[in-house]
Structure 1
Amino acid sequence: MYREHWPLVCGYLLRRTRDPHLAEDLAQETFVKATRAFLGHRGGSPAAWLLAIARNVLIDHVRRRRTELPLPDPDELGVPPMDMAGLDVRDALARLLPQHRELLTLVYFEGFSLMEVAAMTGPLALLRQDRRLAGPQGLRRDVREHHLIPEFDPKRTRRAVRLGILRTAAVVLAVLLVVSLAAVFGSRLIQERGDRERRMVDVLGTALQLANPGYVIQERECCDISLTGMSFTVDVRPERAMGGFFAGADAQALRVEQDFFGRVQAPPLGHATETSLTYGLYNVGTGNQPKEDMRKVITRLPEGLTALAVVEPARPLNAKDLAAFLTRTGLNAERIVYENRPRSTPITWSMYQLGEGPGEEDDLAGFRRWVGSLRDHDEHNLRQFGLDLPRLRKSAADGLAYAFVTNATVGGLRKIIDDPEVRTVRVADVTYDLQRP
C-alpha cells in the first residue's frame, strides 16, 4: 500500500502546502496514522481512505501552527467588501443535491483533482450522477433559475455583433476618407505653391523643344495635378516648310509629367528624335553637304517652291553680326544654333519657344534669360532630355550663332548659297506655297 499510494498522497499534500519537505513529512505522518488505524479500515477504496487521513493530518498541522493574533481594522488592510456574487454562489451550492455539492466542493473549493475525487468517492460515483444536473452545468442552471445571471439571447448577441461590425466599418471608412482628402488637398497645396506650375512648363517644355529641334511643340493644356505629380499636354508635329497643307493627323498630343518631387522619369519623344531638319542640324560643323553639292540640289528645284533650310555661315556670328547678316539678306532666323556640336543635336533657340512669346528682347536675350532661371536642382530633369547645365550656360555666355533655320523660296536660296559669307545651305523640306498667288 505504501509504494502504490505514496505518489498520490504526497502529490496531494504538495499541492496544498507548496513545500516539498513539509509534504513528505505530512505524508510520512499520514502513513503512520494509517498503519495504526488499519484494523479499523472497513474496506472500500484504499486511496480514498488514505486521502481522507492525509486531509485530516493537514488540518491538524494547520491548527498546530495557528496562533492567536489581534486582527487589524479591515480598512487598514484594504480588504474589499464582501462580494455579493460569492454569497449567491454559496446559496446556489446549498440548494444542490448533496452528491453534487460534495463533488463541486472537493474539486473547486478543496482543490482535489478528478483522479483524487474518483479515488475518494469511487470511479463510478461520477458516472452515476445525472449529467444534466452534475457539475458546473447544474450549478449554472440553478443560478439561472433564481435569476442570478441573465439568460443567453442568441438574437441579441448576433444583433450586437452586427452592430459592432457596422460601427467598426463606418469608423474605418471615415478615417480612410479623411486621410484620402487630406492627401489629395495636401498634395495639391504643396505642388501648387508659388509659380511651380508655370515654371514646370517653362523648364520642361523648353527643354523638350531644345532636345527636339526638328519638331514644332505647342502647349495645349496645363496643368493636371494628382497625388503623385503634375503634368501638362503639348501638341507635337514635325517642322515643315511653310505654306503647305498639314493634315490634323500630323500633330499628336503628348503629356509631359513630373513626380511629386518635381522629377521627370521618361520624357515624351526622348531626345534627338530624327527628322529631316534634325539631320541638317547634325551636319552643322561637319563639312557634310558642302556648298557645291547643295548648289546642284537647289538648282534642280523649281524656283517658286518654299524651302525649310539650315544656313551655316562661314564663321560663327555674334548677335550684332547675325542681325546685320539677316538684314542684308532679308532672311528670318526662326531658330538659331548656339552650339558647335557636330554629329549631335546642338542647342538651338527661338523666341517662339514653348512658354515664351514674341517680345521686345531678341533671341539671344531670351535664351540667356531662360538659362539664368535654371537652378542646380534642374540638372536631373535636363539630363532626361539630353541636356545639362554646363553646356547651356556656356552656349548662353558665348552667344555665338553657328547656323540658323529659315523658310525661304528656292530662288532666294540660290542667291544665299552664292554669298561668300555662307559656308553651305542644307535643304530640309520643300513645299508649294498654297497661299502665294
Structure 2
Amino acid sequence: MNVREPDWAYVAKSLVKVVAVTAALLLVLGVGERVLWLFVDFDDERTAQVYGTAARVVNPDKRLANGHTDGGGLRGTTYTLWGEPRKAGPSEGEEEYEIVENSFGSVRAPSLDGPSGSLAYAIDSVREAPDVDEGLKEAARKAIDALPQTLDAVAVVEFAGTMTTDRLVAFNRRHSICGGEDVSYLYSLSSYDDSSDPPAVNAVVWNRGMTKDGFSAEVTYQCETEPVAALAEFRRWVGLLNEGDDLDEFDLYYELLTEDAEDGGVYGLVVDRWKLADLRKLLDDPEVRTVHLADVAFDLGEADQSRQIS
C-alpha cells in the first residue's frame, strides 16, 4: 500500500491562512469593541453595584471590600473583589474573587456562591419563629464563661423574635451598640428544600457599606440609629435590581429580596471581632434568644501593648 507523502508546503500555507484569519477576526473584534464604546453603555458600574453587592450579601464569612472591573466589552465584564476570611484573629492575607458577567447577562462567581464554615453554620442556626429556650441561652453563657472574656469573637446574635427598626434602635441604645463595619443585619434566613422552587436560598446579611468600594472612607455610620440608615440603603439597593438580573449564582431571588426589603425585619446581628464580655452582657436581654459563636481569638496587638506597659 502506497502512502502519499504530505504536501508540507500546502499544510504550511493552510496554517498561515488560519492564523491570519484568526488575527484578523480578533482585530475586527477589538476595533468593533472600541467603536461600540462610543455608542453603547456596557454599564460595568451596574455590574459592580448589583453583583458585587450580592456577593458581599451572601458571603459574610469573608470581608469583601475593594473591587474593580475590567471595563467590560463585547465579551462581558469581569468584576474582581479583594477579601479575606472573616476570622476573629489576625488577617491571613487577601485573595482575589472574580464575578464574570458574559455578554448575554449570565453570571458566574464560583467562589462567591454562599458562606461556608462555622459562620455559615451559626447563621443557619437562626430560626424564623424561635421558641423561648432558656436552656439554649444558658448553654451560650457557659460556653462564653469558660473562655477569657477579653477574647475577640465573630458571632451571630439571634433575637427572640423579629426586630423592627424602632425596636432595634432601642436595643442598640440599651447596650451602647454603635453601627459600623463590625455589625451586620440578618434580614432574611437561609433555607434549603429540594422539593421547592427555588430549592436553596441564601441568607441576606446586610452592612450599609456593602454598596461602596473602599467604604471605610465613604460611609459615615450613625451609631445607635444605624439600623434606620441600613434599612434605607438595603431598600435602595433592592430598588436598583430588576427581574432580568441573574442572581441565581448567589441563591438570591428578586421577588424574595423585594419582600425582605419591604418587611425590614431583622432576625439577628452578625458581629465581627467583638469582645466576649460584650456578647455575654447581651444574653441578659430578653430580646436575645442566644449567641452563636463562630470564631474566637486573642487580640495579639492588645497583648503586645499590655506587655510593653508592664
| TM-score, reference length from structure 2 | 0.74
Tell which has more relative contact order, 1 or 2 (C-alpha 8 A, sep 6+): 2
Q: How far does the alpha carbon of each residue in 1:281-324 deviate from its partner, in whole angstroms, 9 at most, with x for none? A: 10111759921211110110101111111111222111121122
Q: How far does the alpha carbon of each residue in 1:206-263 deviate from its partner, in whole angstroms, 9 at most, with x for none? A: 111222222111234322545522102112322122xx32232xx3212211112232
Structure 1 position 365 matched with structure 2 position 202: no
Equivalents in 1 of 2:298, 2:22: separation in Å?
A: 66
Structure 1 position 417 matched with structure 2 position 283: yes
Q: How far does the alpha carbon of each residue in 1:108-130 deviate from its partner, in whole angstroms, 9 at most, with x for none? A: xxxxxxxxxxxxxxxxxxxxxxx
Structure 1 position 394 matched with structure 2 position 240: no
Equivalents in 2 of 1:218, 1:321: separation in Å?
A: 29
- Listed as ranges, the gaps of 5+ residues in structure 2 are 1-12, 193-200, 222-227
Equivalents in 1 of 2:229, 2:33: separation in Å?
A: 39
Structure 1 position 233 matched with structure 2 position 76: no
4+ residue runs of structure 1 moved beyond 3 angstroms? 172-177, 179-182, 188-195, 224-227, 286-289, 340-345, 354-357
Structure 1 position 281 matched with structure 2 position 123: yes
Equivalents in 2 of 1:209, 1:322: separation in Å?
A: 22
- CA pair 427-174 structure 1, distance change in 2 beyond 3 A: closer
Displacement, 1:402?
Answer: 0.7
- CA pair 291-316 structure 1, distance change in 2 beyond 3 A: same
Displacement, 1:403?
Answer: 0.4
Contact 2:189 2:202 in 1 (8 A): no
Q: Alignment partner of 2:46: what SS?
A: helix
Q: How far does the alpha carbon of each residue in 1:176-197 deviate from its partner, in whole angstroms, 9 at most, with x for none? A: 64x5434223335547844711
Specify the structure having the higher radius of gyration (Cα). 1
Equivalents in 2 of 1:314, 1:190: separation in Å?
A: 55
Match of 1:408, as an amino acid?
Answer: W
RMSD: 2.9
Instruction: Please give the residue correspondences for 1:399-410 in structure 2 after superposition, counting only pairs within 5 Å.
Output: 399-406=264-271, 407-410=273-276
- CA pair 234-191 structure 1, distance change in 2 beyond 3 A: farther
Report the equivalent of 2:207.
350
Structure 1 position 298 matched with structure 2 position 144: yes
Equivalents in 2 of 1:185, 1:294: separation in Å?
A: 62
Instruction: Please give the residue correspondences for 1:26-41 in structure 2 after superposition, counting only pairs within 5 Å.
Output: none
Report the equivalent of 2:293.
427
- CA pair 201-431 structure 1, distance change in 2 beyond 3 A: same
Identity of aligned residues (%): 31
Matched residue count = 261
Match of 1:245, as an amino acid?
Answer: P
Contact 2:44 2:71 in 1 (8 A): no
- Listed as ranges, the gaps of 5+ residues in structure 1 are 1-164
Equivalents in 2 of 1:432, 1:175: separation in Å?
A: 58
Contact 1:231 1:256 in 2 (8 A): yes
Report the equivalent of 1:339.
188
Which of 173, 181, 186 is equivalent to 1:327? 173
Which of 247, 255, 270 is equivalent to 2:92? 247
Q: Alignment partner of 2:244: what SS?
A: helix
Structure 1 position 311 matched with structure 2 position 168: no
Instruction: Please give the residue correspondences for 1:6-25 in structure 2 after superposition, counting only pairs within 5 Å.
Output: none
Q: Alignment partner of 1:273: what SS?
A: coil
Structure 1 position 196 matched with structure 2 position 196: no
Q: Alignment partner of 1:285: what SS?
A: coil
| TM-score, reference length from structure 1 | 0.54
Equivalents in 2 of 1:339, 1:421: separation in Å?
A: 18
Higher strand residue share: 2
Higher helix residue share: 1
Q: Alignment partner of 2:162: what SS?
A: coil
Equivalents in 1 of 2:43, 2:73: separation in Å?
A: 14
Match of 1:387, as an amino acid?
Answer: L
Equivalents in 1 of 2:251, 2:145: separation in Å?
A: 37
- CA pair 354-403 structure 1, distance change in 2 beyond 3 A: same
Q: Alignment partner of 2:63: what SS?
A: strand
Match of 1:353, as an amino acid?
Answer: M
